[in-house]
Structure 1
Amino acid sequence: MLRLPPSGDIPAPPHLSRSQPVMAPLPEASPWRWIAVWQAAGLIEGADDQTLMASFSFDARRWSQPLDMSDLREHGCLWSPVLHRTRQRVWLFYSESVSCKRPANKGRGIPTRWSPGGTIKYVQSEDGVAWSKPAAVLEQSRDGGVPKVIANQLLAVGAVDAMGPARGRWVLPYWQEPPKIDSAARGCAESASGFSAALLSGDHGRTWRRSAPVSIREGFGPTELLEGAVALAGNGTLLQVFRSQEGELYRSSSADGGSTWSPAEPLGLPNPNSKANLINLQGGDGTKPLLALAYNHNSTQGVRNNLRLAVSRDGGTTWNLVAELEGMAEDDIMMHYPTMTQEGCRLFITYSAFYRLLPPCAPTNPTCPPTPPRSQTGIRIAEVDLQRLDLRDTTRMVLSHYTAD
């Protein structure tokens, strides 16, 4: 496996917390070919300075100096970007904190932080540089005032092609996550439940409605279902995959375009309660589309290594491991938050390499060991040449890696 050090053309900004990277091709009006966006905070996730950063590239290998997107901020910190490309525009979805903060932990040197999520918003751009004013998709105040969060791509059901206009419905998975704190004292909802669902639009993003929440099949759980990812599974069915607290990924399906979902149950692949990304690869037939899944193949909660790529030819019933993006790592190094995008025979997987500060350590605790060199952390991009990959068996292959941050 080839690992390239950070390029001198891409000075890394002074952020210790960098995660949730996404990547997409830009419209023809842009001076660039690619854009990558991620969330970043100076010291720790949820800090007041948390924002989105963007970088640009012609070839997806050499990236521009990151651009601070704090101009999008209208109230609190910004979370979990999601990119969606249409023919003439690129859409950027994200959440912005509105209320609800976690208390400081003075013993660990952790400051007051925002709880994940808030109001789900979007902006649009014709070139990835100049963006429209933010518009709300779903206000935090809905469904009990619990913060709303997104993590994975929008699915255009019935899209003509990857770059063409979508006919039919847009499906954007999301969840609302009650903060695990004394909520009444910090602007959070006092008594409201969390759930996963999908946001649906039949008019290309002008209006949205919520699907029915996803329940858990009797005999399984209890567990949270977070960071859903949705793709076409064949015969008009949608498949949604979730991280869980059960040491494995969960799955749910929809036969009505995302309006209702079957009770969630285990998918059959291990997972340490970390994000997985699910997409349709070009080349599958209309009956059983070809699915790709990037995820941490590990069942130990919090140990986010063994980042793998798996494919399915039967709608997600069985999976073949076809590539290893990252192998085993030390427990305090996490390789996580993968997101895929395909261009022809090139499959790109963006993910973050993150140094996890184990208790009682924190960035502001002087008694803790120093963090590793920045070259060991940040935003990474792996490229798979699908022509070299036998998608029918479990052969591993060597990937090319690039550093975007």
Structure 2
Amino acid sequence: MAWFGGSYEGAEDVAIWTATRGPGGAWTPPTQAAKVHRAASYNGKNLKHNGPYSRSEPARRGGEPHWNPVLWCGDAGTDANGGGDGAYHGECAGDVILYFKMGWKIPFWESFSTRSRDGGETWSTPSDFVRGDHGGRGPVKNKPVVLADGTWAAPASLEGAMGRVRKQWRSFVDFSQDQGRTWRPGPAVFPADGGGVIQPTVWESAPGHLHMLMRSSRGRQMHVMRSDSHDGGRTWSPPRRTRLPNNNSGLDVAYLPGSGTLVLAYNHVMNTDSRSPMRLAISEDNGETWGVFHDTDTEKGSVRAGHEYSYPACVPWPKDSAEEGVSVSYTWHRRRMAFFSVSLQELKAMSKPLNLEDAAPGA
């Protein structure tokens, strides 16, 4: 499991932390996996339009804040749509890869990656995901997937101004055909009528058929947004609204290739000051409908007061497991990390019919 932690979100001491769950279910103590310190003339906290760093404030000794870690089992031996975002489950045939962002302002985030060859006990020195890039390339929140042709597909997004041009939030997919050595960004996906979409989660339902669900910023009537590609990600359909509510917060989907089932982890609410409940919804028709659900945490509270269950990572069990299932991790009141692992059979048994009319904006 990986998370970012420090004094508060965006503080200079925020680093990337990891813990590993043993066969008996016990977790190791948190370990700092990544904290990049570099000689920068200016720390960029007060940004100007003319570049990523401001000359109004000297560099600080604590470094720059780190964000949005994504753990992934990157070897080609993993099944399509598999990996290890948030909750490393099973053994990697190759390296465990940890992607993360760094920077003071989101439009000028830089992407880094580090690798572990011993199951997460030690990590290599972080390196640039794409050298010289600002804004954030590669996995922005959710796991990459390995496509049927072996291509790595990393769900990505960009936020805010780029130079003097104000741009809406937009999603895209970064593709690698050489197991992560080089990357090519796909086309941007965003609504034509305003609003924005970020932090996509991606799956491949059949060779060349890719789909993404996205976080939305469309006011008080927000819903999860969806886009589809039928040419391997070269083109994408205009985003369309699903019936699932969204509160401008993160989500993640796990595709279970044996049955074709989707399990989506998200907040079933529209109110942006609420990130509860944390819900697992099940779809058996490639995400067109969501029939049943189970809530893992339901206590109500205000995001402003730090009461939330948010930013889930939802990971399919390894393909060599005796049965299909998912492992889910998420923020618990911004003080701890929660972990929930369940077989698909058990999840269906504890689920109940999903009512899509119970997530009013004030809920």
Q: TM-score, normalised by structure 1?
A: 0.68
2:17 corresponding residue in structure 1: 53
The answer to whether the Cα contact below 8 Å between 1:46 and 1:115 also exists between their aligned partners in 2 is no
1:339 corresponding residue in structure 2: 313
The answer to whether 1:298 aligns with 2:269 is yes
After TM superposition, the structure 1 = structure 2 runs for residues 169-248 of structure 1, keeping only pairs within 5 Å, are 169-178=151-160, 189-191=163-165, 193=167, 194-216=169-191, 218=192, 221-234=193-206, 236-246=208-218, 247-248=222-223
Task: Please list the CA deviations of residues 52-79 of structure 1 after superposition, one character each: whole Å capped at 9, or x if unmatched.
Answer: 0111221373111111124444463221
* Structure 2 unaligned blocks of 5 or more: 39-62, 76-92, 355-363
The answer to whether the Cα contact below 8 Å between 1:151 and 1:227 also exists between their aligned partners in 2 is yes
The answer to whether the Cα contact below 8 Å between 1:308 and 1:321 also exists between their aligned partners in 2 is no
Assess, with a 3 A threshold, how the Cα gap between structure 1 residues 49 and 249 changes in structure 2: closer, same or farther. same
2:99 corresponding residue in structure 1: 93
1:119 corresponding residue in structure 2: 110
Assess, with a 3 A threshold, how the Cα gap between structure 1 residues 124 and 69 changes in structure 2: closer, same or farther. closer
Displacement of 1:300 in angstroms is 1.2
**Identity between Structure 1 and Structure 2 (%):** 26
Task: Please list the CA deviations of residues 122-176 of structure 1 after superposition, one character each: whole Å capped at 9, or x if unmatched.
Answer: 122211123233232235x54xx44557000001112xxxxxxxx5211101111
Task: Please list the CA deviations of residues 316-351 of structure 1 after superposition, one character each: whole Å capped at 9, or x if unmatched.
Answer: 111123311111412231111111223334422100
Helix, strand or coil: the match of 1:168?
coil
1:80 corresponding residue in structure 2: 68
**Structure 2 letter corresponding to 1:326:** D
Distance in 1 (alpha carbons) for counterparts of 2:123 and 2:202: 26
* Structure 1 unaligned blocks of 5 or more: 1-35, 102-113, 159-166, 180-187, 356-376, 397-405
After TM superposition, the structure 1 = structure 2 runs for residues 2-401 of structure 1, keeping only pairs within 5 Å, are 36-42=1-7, 44-59=8-23, 61-74=25-38, 76-85=64-73, 86=75, 87-97=93-103, 101=104, 114-115=105-106, 118-127=109-118, 128-139=120-131, 142=133, 145-147=134-136, 150-158=140-148, 167-178=149-160, 189-191=163-165, 193=167, 194-216=169-191, 218=192, 221-234=193-206, 236-246=208-218, 247-284=222-259, 289-331=260-302, 332=305, 333-343=307-317, 344=321, 345=323, 346-354=325-333, 377-390=335-348, 394=352
Helix, strand or coil: the match of 2:333?
strand
Distance in 2 (alpha carbons) for counterparts of 1:253 and 1:95: 26
Displacement of 1:383 in angstroms is 2.1
Displacement of 1:295 in angstroms is 0.4
The answer to whether the Cα contact below 8 Å between 1:229 and 1:242 also exists between their aligned partners in 2 is yes
Distance in 1 (alpha carbons) for counterparts of 2:15 and 2:286: 36
Helix, strand or coil: the match of 1:388?
helix
Helix, strand or coil: the match of 1:309?
strand
The answer to whether the Cα contact below 8 Å between 1:73 and 1:96 also exists between their aligned partners in 2 is no
The answer to whether the Cα contact below 8 Å between 1:304 and 1:336 also exists between their aligned partners in 2 is yes
Which range moved further: 86-95 or 75-84? 75-84
Assess, with a 3 A threshold, how the Cα gap between structure 1 residues 190 and 295 changes in structure 2: closer, same or farther. same
Task: Please list the CA deviations of residues 90-128 of structure 1 after superposition, one character each: whole Å capped at 9, or x if unmatched.
Answer: 11111122xxx4xxxxxxxxxxxx447612221222111
Distance in 1 (alpha carbons) for counterparts of 2:69 and 2:265: 18
Displacement of 1:393 in angstroms is 7.2
Distance in 1 (alpha carbons) for counterparts of 2:217 and 2:299: 21
The answer to whether the Cα contact below 8 Å between 2:34 and 2:126 also exists between their aligned partners in 1 is no
Distance in 2 (alpha carbons) for counterparts of 1:202 and 1:294: 29
Displacement of 1:214 in angstroms is 0.5
Distance in 2 (alpha carbons) for counterparts of 1:322 and 1:130: 37
Assess, with a 3 A threshold, how the Cα gap between structure 1 residues 147 and 388 changes in structure 2: closer, same or farther. closer
Distance in 2 (alpha carbons) for counterparts of 1:146 and 1:213: 13
The answer to whether the Cα contact below 8 Å between 1:146 and 1:189 also exists between their aligned partners in 2 is no
2:81 corresponding residue in structure 1: none
The answer to whether the Cα contact below 8 Å between 1:152 and 1:173 also exists between their aligned partners in 2 is yes
Task: Please list the CA deviations of residues 350-394 of structure 1 after superposition, one character each: whole Å capped at 9, or x if unmatched.
Answer: 001125xxxxxxxxxxxxxxxxxxxxx310111223232338973
Displacement of 1:306 in angstroms is 1.4
Distance in 1 (alpha carbons) for counterparts of 2:17 and 2:299: 28
Distance in 1 (alpha carbons) for counterparts of 2:226 and 2:275: 20
Distance in 1 (alpha carbons) for counterparts of 2:231 and 2:237: 11
Displacement of 1:45 in angstroms is 0.9
Distance in 2 (alpha carbons) for counterparts of 1:176 and 1:228: 11
Output the aligned Cα RMSD: 2.5
Helix, strand or coil: the match of 1:389?
helix
Helix, strand or coil: the match of 1:387?
helix
The answer to whether the Cα contact below 8 Å between 1:224 and 1:245 also exists between their aligned partners in 2 is yes
Assess, with a 3 A threshold, how the Cα gap between structure 1 residues 79 and 336 changes in structure 2: closer, same or farther. same
Distance in 1 (alpha carbons) for counterparts of 2:6 and 2:37: 14
Assess, with a 3 A threshold, how the Cα gap between structure 1 residues 116 and 191 changes in structure 2: closer, same or farther. closer
**Structure 1 letter corresponding to 2:315:** T
The answer to whether the Cα contact below 8 Å between 2:294 and 2:350 also exists between their aligned partners in 1 is no
Assess, with a 3 A threshold, how the Cα gap between structure 1 residues 387 and 380 changes in structure 2: closer, same or farther. same
